[in-house]
A = this chain, B = another copy of it.
Amino acid sequence: MSLRDRPLKHWGWGYADEQPSAGELRSAAAGLREHLGFGWEVPELPAALPALRASRLTAPTPLAEICSAQNGIRARHSYGRSYRDVVRGFRGDYPDPVDLVCTPRSEAEVEAALEWAVDAGAAVIPYGGGTSVVGGVEPIGLDGYAGVVSLDLGALDRVLEVDEVSLSARVAAGASGPRLEAGLAERGLTLRHYPQSFQHQTLGGAIATRAGGHFATRHTHIDDFVESIRALTPTGWWESRRLPGSGAAVSPDRMLLGSEGTLGVITEAWVRVRRRPRFRASASVRFKSFWDGARAIREILQAGFGPANCRLIDPDEARLTFAGDGTAALLLLAFESAHHEVEPELALSLECCRDHGGRWDSVRGSDRSGDPSGAWRDAFLRAPYLRDTFVAMGVISETFETAITWERLPEFHASVTAATRSAVDEICGSGRGSVTCRLTHVYPDGAAPYFTVLAPARRGAELQQWDAIKAAASDAIIAGGGTITHHHAVGRDHRPWYDRQRPEPFARALAGAKTAIDPSWSLNPGALIDRP
């Protein structure tokens, strides 16, 4: 059985066979309940998948074998994997599903599928791993279309070519994280781009949404890994040249990066890869306060260092995630290289930490055994599974992230935290639950604060609860000068705030660009911009 044949959960994260049994769920929930202080004693079980509304589209004969209107497949393609999505899937709530899922096996089949769907007056939602947490693949507000096709690129999943001289690889857009890394590992290479959705996300999806990896500095977004892109628009192929750098006008790649499926269906990209790291050095540094840690990080970044990992978590989040006892902020600082020892860089960076009161027990070297960086990454990638358990036990569990320059960070952090905390108080009960923060990505001029909300849910009211909390947080982010998303994309969920963030002439320019190459607005309508 290949990876692709292994059945996925229709409603939650990952594979169906990884869903805990009712007994396991009860026991996990009891432990979490004790730790958090809330959550239902008896976890709810997921509803059976209901029969979806009849499909409004029928694939023509030549496409029939790559199209499916099967219930479970349509359900899985109708939502991403946000808290809102998991709650709705868990309850079997699919009022507005996609009509047809089309899974082309070649670029010729992508062309045929897109041509047919556009001619049929359907909306076409390009679909990678379906890991959106912002409503990026959800077919809402598409009444003007004859139906909705989910165009799943997942069968185009290979590393197609590797250039070991330039350290670049041509990769089909549907390649998942593991698929891509396996193809590169054969040559001792790696992309080093690990979003939390690594297991299921695809390269094309990452490019379309400007995904962030777990690298904390320098190569944070997929943007900088991209050497060239090949995409199909309703009016022809958009393919850029492989170039290490160029000053020839507006970058065509940068216009596809973040286009969220509205301008073209990405089928391939050349990406910059690197040799697998052999040298590592890391330390876990404790700071009396989050702000001492933030000042140390700022100094490290402004000194020109580019640590692979540089995550600062506040004391409460350290306690909640079993990483600390709640008395100190924790910084995980790690350097890596395929070429040379990195202890000197770590040592200089730790001096910055010491200057701000940081303390650490030991420095870990290239021997990975006992390296918390590896353990951290495993926990990082397992987190989405945990979220499914939270849904079953009545815990609202969601995150949101933004970015802001350093000089505004303390005030911004205070106002966003206060607004979110106050919404949780009002909606979930005063003083209940938690709003915590970490810095996941850092830059010489600022940082990306990443907030986690854990709060008690009211059965059946989770969506309204979360929507109200999220709206309060988003209002504070926009008012404070931040971005509505650092690496989760815009989708449909962020639209109201994104519309306030972006320059108005830019929105018109983007709509004009779309109209020029997708005259019937077939591609992912409703994401990013509205038809003028």
Tell me the A residues contacting B by CB distance below 8 Å: 163, 165-168, 209-212, 220-221, 227, 233, 235-252, 254-255, 257-260, 263-264, 272, 274-275, 298, 302-304, 337-340, 344, 348, 403-407, 441, 443-448, 481-490, 494, 498, 501-506, 508-517, 528, 532
Q: B243 touching A251 by the CB < 8 A rule?
A: no
Q: A248 touching B304 by the CB < 8 A rule?
A: no
B contact residues around A255 at 8 Å (CB): 250, 254-255, 506, 509
Knowing that A241-B483, A272-B445 touch, tell me 17 more A-B residue pairs with CB under 8 angstroms: A163-B407, A167-B445, A209-B247, A210-B247, A236-B505, A238-B504, A241-B481, A243-B405, A244-B403, A244-B404, A244-B443, A249-B489, A249-B490, A250-B258, A250-B510, A303-B337, A512-B515
Q: B237 touching A503 by the CB < 8 A rule?
A: yes
Q: A251 touching B244 by the CB < 8 A rule?
A: no
Q: In the complex, what distance in Å separates the CA atom of A443 from the CA atom of B220?
A: 17
Q: A238 touching B503 by the CB < 8 A rule?
A: yes
Q: In the complex, what distance in Å separates the CA atom of A165 from the CA atom of B295?
A: 10
A510 to chain B, nearest CB (A): 6
B contact residues around A485 at 8 Å (CB): 246-248
Q: A254 touching B252 by the CB < 8 A rule?
A: no
B contact residues around A404 at 8 Å (CB): 243-244
Q: Which residue of B lies closest to A351 (CB)?
A: B340
Q: In the complex, what distance in Å separates the CA atom of A532 from the CA atom of B515?
A: 13
Q: In the complex, what distance in Å separates the CA atom of A248 from the CA atom of B209?
A: 8
Q: In the complex, what distance in Å separates the CA atom of A207 from the CA atom of B165?
A: 32
21 A-B pairs (CB sep. < 8 Å):
A165-B406, A166-B406, A166-B446, A167-B444, A209-B247, A212-B247, A221-B247, A237-B503, A241-B483, A244-B446, A244-B448, A245-B446, A248-B498, A249-B490, A251-B257, A255-B506, A505-B517, A509-B513, A509-B517, A512-B516, A512-B517
A238, A303, A338, A513 pick with most chain B CB within 10 angstroms: A513
Number of copies of chain A assembled together = 2
Q: In the complex, what distance in Å separates the CA atom of A245 from the CA atom of B448?
A: 8
B contact residues around A494 at 8 Å (CB): 248
B contact residues around A513 at 8 Å (CB): 509-510, 512-513, 516
Q: A248 touching B490 by the CB < 8 A rule?
A: yes
Q: B486 touching A242 by the CB < 8 A rule?
A: no
Instruction: Choose among B249, B441, B532 the residue that contacts A502 (Cβ–Cβ < 8 A).
Output: B249
B contact residues around A233 at 8 Å (CB): 505
- Contacts A247-B488, A482-B243, A484-B248 known; A167 to B503 CB distance under 8 Å? no
A312 to chain B, nearest CB (A): 15
Q: B227 touching A445 by the CB < 8 A rule?
A: yes
B contact residues around A247 at 8 Å (CB): 209-212, 221, 258, 483, 485-489
B contact residues around A344 at 8 Å (CB): 344
Q: In the complex, what distance in Å separates the CA atom of A220 from the CA atom of B236?
A: 32
B contact residues around A511 at 8 Å (CB): 516
Instruction: Choose among B244, B258, B338, B407 the residue that contacts A248 (Cβ–Cβ < 8 A).
Output: B258
B contact residues around A441 at 8 Å (CB): 245
Q: Which residue of B lies closest to A497 (CB)?
A: B248
Q: In the complex, what distance in Å separates the CA atom of A257 from the CA atom of B248?
A: 10
Q: In the complex, what distance in Å separates the CA atom of A407 from the CA atom of B443?
A: 32
B contact residues around A498 at 8 Å (CB): 248-249
Q: Which residue of B lies closest to A303 (CB)?
A: B339
Q: Which residue of B lies closest to A513 (CB)?
A: B509
Q: Which residue of B lies closest to A516 (CB)?
A: B512
Q: In the complex, what distance in Å separates the CA atom of A497 from the CA atom of B238?
A: 17
Q: In the complex, what distance in Å separates the CA atom of A98 from the CA atom of B503?
A: 31
Q: In the complex, what distance in Å separates the CA atom of A84 from the CA atom of B481?
A: 46
B contact residues around A235 at 8 Å (CB): 505, 508
Q: Which residue of B lies closest to A232 (CB)?
A: B505
A239, A263, A516 pick with most chain B CB within 10 angstroms: A516
A168, A243, A404, A443 pick with most chain B CB within 10 angstroms: A243
A527 to chain B, nearest CB (A): 9
B contact residues around A484 at 8 Å (CB): 248
B contact residues around A488 at 8 Å (CB): 247
A133 to chain B, nearest CB (A): 12
B contact residues around A258 at 8 Å (CB): 247-251
B contact residues around A504 at 8 Å (CB): 236, 238
Q: A167 touching B245 by the CB < 8 A rule?
A: no
